[in-house]
């Protein structure tokens, strides 16, 4: 399957520095794809702390189960990710695969089995034979090198049209630390979270509990605020690893430690950057859509309405057609089931107010709005006029290419 | 814009008998369309009882507001329906229009203004000038005739590719009564959405309260169990009128009256028949999909899971691509947020069991299932294996034509 690169791809990729304490190797295991890497190993130095968030699917994959089981330990020695097969809905066989992989990975990295983290992405329901890659792990762990983040980003892709990288520096005490992140997305992307895998690493000495608090909070306004098609994967996994190798940085254990503020901001930038890259590579995406709801009864209500707009096929096809069809935004507000007063509702596309206080804005210019709709990035705002709740979510348009990609996937 | 007739259209339309006490007229008011009828008037004999159900949108159209206000009176004298303009999100102007229309319609039919029912479908946000049609109502009411159900079905169409009719006979006591229904569904010619309008009439002497109970219950498993694209219109309206003209039939006031049983069955058949016709004419539809969930914790839970499957773009595109991609059904079960146990889940496409107890069915035949997926009507079943709850909903596939119809509007 080959798809041309999304027109919303970044002009150039972030230059990813090495993270002290993280070594990377990739390989072509031939799990499903040919002539491309599909296996990633990240080996972490002893003492690396870990935190994670996962899909809310009631039918999670076997690797998600394993990560959830190991997370309370708070320590990571190795991460193994394969693309091409999700090892989801594979029953007892799936558990046997994660168990065999964990054993081989622990041996390869010289860590405990409870310090192994796994992620798989690809077809659901196909048994994943661990023999395809467990034999490779020893050599990969041995040859792993720090400066291979570019390769890591590529090895986890499925229908992504470009690899996704982000990096930030931040001060922790007086010491500059680094945060690197990679992600994959494409389809089955909805909050909570997405067919989305993302792995973040830092050399900062931050304990698992503090990492977890920052990651959970940061996810709410980033990865959990993007949707491609409202569909939630069985396999969504976002993990953060902190090696603590940044020399002279103060060890942090309390998430309320004020010295964490710059790190938290930088981490949130990495998460948001990656989340938007996922949206901009949504299957068939030609435009990014930012949906902001203001004036709602509460922030929770605003978020629900914003997602109703962002997930509406009629809104998304209108944007694909460069049609400022604000009537569909009214529809999506109405269907959300949240408190709303039709006669106080106002709607903007960019700076163009199309509807005001329950009817078409008399000053609305079709010409100016049509010109706006030709842009790559469309901002839709709905003000409900009944409270102070607000929320922003991001999505992409719904094009014929989405249908083509997803109608022809297995065939 | 012209669309060819859906391949799922009925081979022939139902022959619609007259209903004693109902007279019908249609006209070309030129509200938006040219060279086709866009105005329907149904005049009811004195004493006609009425019940209705409406959109749950928080931003309902002005005609929906008016119907809701008049419904508690329980009596209907006249119904006026226009296509081409929804009179939705039209603010004070919208209320002025419904008010002027109600006045003119009451005068034309010789009934009280509280006995007028209105429905509008078409563009949202455009003011609807009542002067376009109020002048026609007097002549239409005068010339209205009983045997015009065919014309009624056509006058309410928007982008429907075929008119939708259903009729049933039932015994009430010893007397045969008739139930006629028409509907319109998903379409767009203007910026619009899948507004659903349906009007049912019977000569049975059934009081408003009993009608309401039967309609509300009947809707749950018919019109409220179909989805084209998960988007809810501002204008959805389903009304039932009972003229009581069937000679010798016993008047019924109590919804629990056992003599209602055959009528209720016949009414449910009419509602289901119309609801399925709406799905089969869904925008771009090439296949009908029936989704049944069994073994859920409760019926409510089963329904939520069934709708999660039916509204999943990934499931719908897979069916469009004739791909038995049951992994996406697992995903949709998982994302519904309802109680589920991955390891007890089984999935069928038709009679083909693809997954059983949490993994791919070892007896699954790709060849047989692929042949099945070429059919016009696809049945998907998921058994959760944890309880007795079940539900069935209907939808259609998601094709490139859906995107074209909804994305190419203004371009």
pLDDT tens, residue by residue, A167-218: 999 999 999 999 999 999 866 544 333 468 999 999 999 999 999 999 999 9
Query: In chain B, what is the straight-line distance between the N-terminal and C-terminal CA atoms, in Å?
Result: 11
CB contact under 8 A, A58 and B338: yes
| pLDDT for residue A2 is more than 60 | no
Query: Which helix (H) or strand (E) element contains residue A155?
Result: helix A149-155
Beta bridge partners of A122: A84
Query: Which residues of chain A have a CB within 8 Å of the CB of B313?
Result: 229-231, 313, 398, 402, 406
Question: How far does the CA of residue A347 sit from the closest CA of chain B (Å)?
Answer: 12
CA B397 to chain centre: 18
Q: Which residue is closest to A411 within chain B, CA to CA?
A: B323
| Percent over 90 (pLDDT), chain A | 71
Closest CA to A37 of A205, A124, A142, A163: A163
CB contact under 8 A, A399 and B398: no
Beta bridge partners of A394: A226, A290
Question: How far does the CA of residue A68 sit from the closest CA of chain B (Å)?
Answer: 16
DSSP A298-365: SHHHHHHHHHHHHH-HHHHHHHHTT---HHHHHHHHHHT-S---GGG-EEEETTEEEEETTEE-TT--
In the 8-state DSSP scheme, what is residue B89? Answer: S
Closest CA to B127 of B231, B36, B32: B32
B407 or B285: whose pLDDT is higher? B285
CB contact under 8 A, B326 and A125: yes
What CA–CA distances, in Å, run from A57 to A60, A87, A193, A233, B373?
6, 15, 9, 7, 27
Cα separation, A136 vs A117, in Å, equals 17
Query: Which helix (H) or strand (E) element contains residue B178?
Result: strand B175-184
Mean pLDDT, residues A335-351 taken together: 92
> What confidence score (pLDDT) does residue B301 get?
96
Determine if residue B21 is left, alpha or beta; phi over 0 gives left, psi from -120 to 50 gives alpha, anything else beta: left
Q: Are strands B352-356 and B346-349 parallel, antiparallel or unpaired?
A: antiparallel
B30 or A402: whose pLDDT is higher? B30
Mean pLDDT, residues A313-328 taken together: 89
Backbone angles phi, psi at A333, to 5 degrees: -65, -45
Stretch 389-408 of chain B: residues touching chain A, C-beta under 8 Å: 398-400, 402-404, 406-408
| pLDDT for residue A110 is more than 80 | yes
| pLDDT for residue B187 is more than 80 | no
CB contact under 8 A, A56 and B404: no
Closest CA to A186 of A122, A270, A267: A122
Confidence band, pLDDT 50/70/90 cuts, at residue B409: very low
| pLDDT for residue A409 is more than 70 | no
| pLDDT for residue B3 is more than 70 | no
Q: Do A358 and A369 form a contact (C-beta atoms < 8 A)?
A: no
| Percent over 90 (pLDDT), chain B | 70
What ipTM, to 2 d.p.?
0.80
Mean pLDDT, residues A2-31 taken together: 90
| pLDDT for residue A407 is more than 70 | yes
Active site residues of A: 195
> What confidence score (pLDDT) does residue A195 get?
63
DSSP B30-74: -SS-SSS--EEEEEE-TT-EEEEEE---SS--HHHHHHHHHGGG-
> What confidence score (pLDDT) does residue B137 get?
98
Angle at B49 between CA B47 and CA B51, to 5 degrees: 165
In the 8-state DSSP scheme, what is residue B223? Answer: G
Residue with tokens 């998907």: B380
Strands of the sheet containing B39-44, edge to edge, are: B22-27, B39-44, B78-85, B116-123
Question: How far does the CA of residue B87 sit from the closest CA of chain A (Å)?
Answer: 10
| pLDDT for residue A125 is more than 50 | yes
């Amino acid at each position: 399957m080959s798809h041309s690169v999304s027109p919303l791809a970044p002009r150039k990729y972030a230059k990813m520095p090495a993270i002290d304490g993280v070594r990377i190797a990739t390989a072509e295991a031939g799990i499903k794809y040919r002539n491309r890497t599909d296996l990633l190993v990240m080996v972490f130095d002893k003492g690396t702390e870990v935190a994670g968030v996962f899909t809310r699917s009631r039918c999670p994959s076997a690797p998600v189960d394993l990560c959830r089981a190991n997370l309370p330990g708070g320590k990571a020695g190795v991460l193994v990710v394969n693309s091409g097969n999700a090892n989801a809905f594979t029953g007892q066989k799936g558990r046997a695969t994660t168990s065999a992989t964990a054993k081989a990975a622990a041996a390869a990295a010289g860590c405990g089995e409870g310090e192994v983290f796994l992620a798989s992405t690809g077809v659901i329901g196909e048994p994943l034979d661990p023999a395809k890659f467990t034999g490779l792990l020893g050599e990969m762990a041995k040859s792993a090198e720090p400066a291979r983040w570019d390769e890591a980003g590529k090895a986890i892709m499925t229908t992504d049209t470009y690899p996704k990288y982000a990096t930030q520096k931040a001060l922790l005490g007086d010491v500059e630390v680094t945060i690197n992140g990679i992600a994959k997305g494409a389809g089955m992307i909805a909050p909570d979270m997405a067919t989305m895998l993302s792995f973040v690493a830092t050399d900062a000495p931050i304990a698992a509990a503090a990492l977890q608090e920052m990651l959970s909070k940061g996810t709410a306004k980033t990865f959990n605020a993007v949707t491609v098609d409202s569909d939630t994967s069985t396999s969504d996994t976002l993990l953060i690893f902190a090696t603590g190798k940044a020399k002279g940085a103060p060890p942090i254990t309390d998430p309320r430690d004020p010295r964490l503020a710059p790190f938290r901001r930088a981490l949130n930038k990495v998460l948001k950057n990656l989340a938007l890259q996922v949206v901009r590579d949504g299957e068939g995406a030609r435009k990014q859509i930012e949906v902001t709801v203001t004036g709602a009864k509460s922030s929770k209500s605003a978020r629900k309405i914003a997602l109703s707009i962002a997930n509406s096929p009629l809104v998304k096809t209108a944007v694909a057609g460069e049609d400022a069809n604000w009537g569909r935004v009214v529809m999506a507000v109405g269907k959300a089931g949240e408190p709303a007063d039709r006669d106080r509702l106002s709607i903007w596309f960019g700076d163009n107010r199309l509807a005001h206080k329950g009817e078409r804005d008399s000053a609305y210019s079709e010409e100016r709005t049509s010109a706006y709709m030709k842009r790559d990035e469309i901002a839709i705002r709905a003000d409900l006029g009944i409270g102070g709740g607000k929320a922003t979510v991001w999505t992409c348009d719904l094009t014929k290419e989405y249908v083509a990609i997803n109608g022809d996937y297995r065939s």
